[in-house]
């Protein structure tokens, strides 16, 4: 029997943490493991997933499908072994998306896609915008992407609190753009975020890697552009964790720094 299809929304508190890059590359990595993957661009106002996947022109977008102007099959594209449901690039699309999107229709699109996918990865906009909330509500699992900085984990904390309230399963945290001298080590990130969502784990650390931006300039996922670079290694490891072939790293328990303690006091209002 086919395992149940899984829908995972890829979210972050702060913008620019690497959600779109992660969605594209994790999608390609899961597909290379034999999984049927669909990536959905839910960033209706600032869509760029198609560009990262090397698609410069789209015939119909998620918005067209939601508004009944196109069939799902007309909007779906194929790239590097994964199916992609793009959002629109045009300014008019962004404006229309802001005017309001029918939640039921989005849920219906995801249901339709699930019947022919092993995985749906949803590239959500940053923060707690309408479409992020929508995608969290529609997906069963959530991956939080953050950078190893205090501002990023503070915003991640809020998203996790929200996920908990909505009954969305936060599958784990991906720490992206990790450098040797990062501001916050992964152990502390895990401890900090577990105050928002009990039992949350850092699943992987993706290093800062110039190949990521090089690949982007070539309109290619980096796991295709350079499968052996450090960032690609991290993505393949994450894909194994996601399918249950590997366990997440066991990080040492960390005590919180004074900065973290202070930030948590601010976030919880317990001053
Ligand atoms: N590990 C990395 N190493 C180097 N550059 C990276 C890495 N991850 C992402 N980037 C770069 O960071 C920028 C932002 O990434 P991306 O667009 O994926 O973020 P995002 O979270 O989707 O942003 P937004 O919130 O605007 O949707 C891109 O130019 C990308 O190439
Ligand atoms: Mg993005």
Residues 36 and 78 sit within 8 Å (Cβ to Cβ): no
Atom of ligand 1 minimally distant from the CA of 176: 1
Does the pLDDT at position 241 exceed 90?
yes
Atom of ligand 1 minimally distant from the CA of 209: 3
Q: What is the pLDDT of residue 1?
A: 64
CA distances from 250 to 56, 137, 247 (A): 41, 29, 8
Residue 19 alpha carbon to ligand 1 centre in Å? 7
d(CA 228, CA 207): 13
Geometric angle at alpha carbon 168, from 120 and 193, rounded to 5°: 110
Q: Say what the pTM is.
A: 0.94
The CATH architecture of the domain made up of 6-268 is 3-Layer(aba) Sandwich (3.40)
Geometric angle at alpha carbon 78, from 103 and 117, rounded to 5°: 55
Atom of ligand 1 minimally distant from the CA of 210: 4
d(CA 117, CA 120): 7
Q: What is the pLDDT of residue 97?
A: 65
What does the block give as tokens for 247? Answer: 């366990």
Q: What is the pLDDT of residue 43?
A: 80
Q: Which ligand is the nearest neighbour of the Cα of 219?
A: 1
Pocket test for ligand 1, best of 17, 19, 21, 24 (most atoms within 8 A of CB): 21
Residue 129 alpha carbon to ligand 2 centre in Å? 13
What band does 53 get if pLDDT is binned at 50, 70 and 90? very high
The count of C-alpha atoms lying within 13 angstroms of the C-alpha of 183, restricted to the half-sphere facing its C-beta, is 12
Kindly report, residue by residue over 193-204, the tens digit of the pLDDT: 999 999 999 999
Atom of ligand 1 minimally distant from the CA of 15: 25
Residue 218 alpha carbon to ligand 2 centre in Å? 17
Geometric angle at alpha carbon 24, from 20 and 27, rounded to 5°: 135
Residues 6+ apart with CB under 8 A from 211: 222, 225, 226, 229, 230, 231, 232
d(CA 146, CA 13): 8
Kindly report, residue by residue over 105-155, the tens digit of the pLDDT: 888 888 899 899 999 999 988 776 666 677 777 778 999 999 999 999 999
Neighbour count for residue 185 (Cβ, 10 Å): 18
| Mean pLDDT score of the chain | 90
What average pLDDT does the segment 15-28 reach? 96
């Amino acid at each position: 029997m086919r395992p149940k299809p899984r829908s995972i929304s890829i979210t972050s508190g702060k913008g620019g943490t690497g959600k779109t890059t992660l969605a594209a590359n994790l999608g390609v990595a899961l597909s290379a493991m034999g999984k049927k993957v669909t990536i959905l661009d839910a960033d209706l106002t600032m869509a760029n997933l198609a560009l990262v996947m090397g698609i410069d022109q789209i015939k119909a977008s998620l918005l067209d499908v939601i508004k009944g102007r196109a069939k799902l099959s007309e909007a779906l594209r194929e790239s590097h072994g994964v199916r992609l449901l793009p959002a629109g690039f045009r300014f008019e699309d962004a404006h229309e998306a802001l005017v309001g999107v029918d939640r039921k229709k989005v849920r219906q699109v995801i249901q339709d896609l699930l019947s022919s996918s092993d995985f749906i990865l949803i590239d959500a906009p940053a923060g707690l915008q309408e479409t992020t909330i929508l995608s969290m509500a529609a997906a069963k699992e959530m991956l939080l992407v953050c950078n190893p900085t205090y501002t990023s984990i503070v915003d991640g904390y809020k998203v996790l609190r929200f996920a908990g309230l909505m009954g969305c399963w936060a599958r784990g945290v991906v720490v992206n753009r990790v450098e040797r001298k990062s501001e916050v080590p992964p152990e502390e990130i895990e401890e900090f975020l577990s105050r928002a969502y009990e039992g949350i784990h850092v699943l992987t650390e993706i290093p800062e890697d110039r190949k990521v931006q090089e690949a982007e300039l070539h309109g290619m996922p980096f796991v295709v552009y350079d499968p052996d670079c450090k960032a690609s290694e991290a993505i393949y490891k994450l894909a194994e964790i996601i399918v249950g072939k590997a366990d997440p790293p066991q990080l040492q328990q960390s005590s919180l720094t004074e900065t973290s303690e202070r930030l948590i006091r601010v976030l919880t209002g317990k001053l």
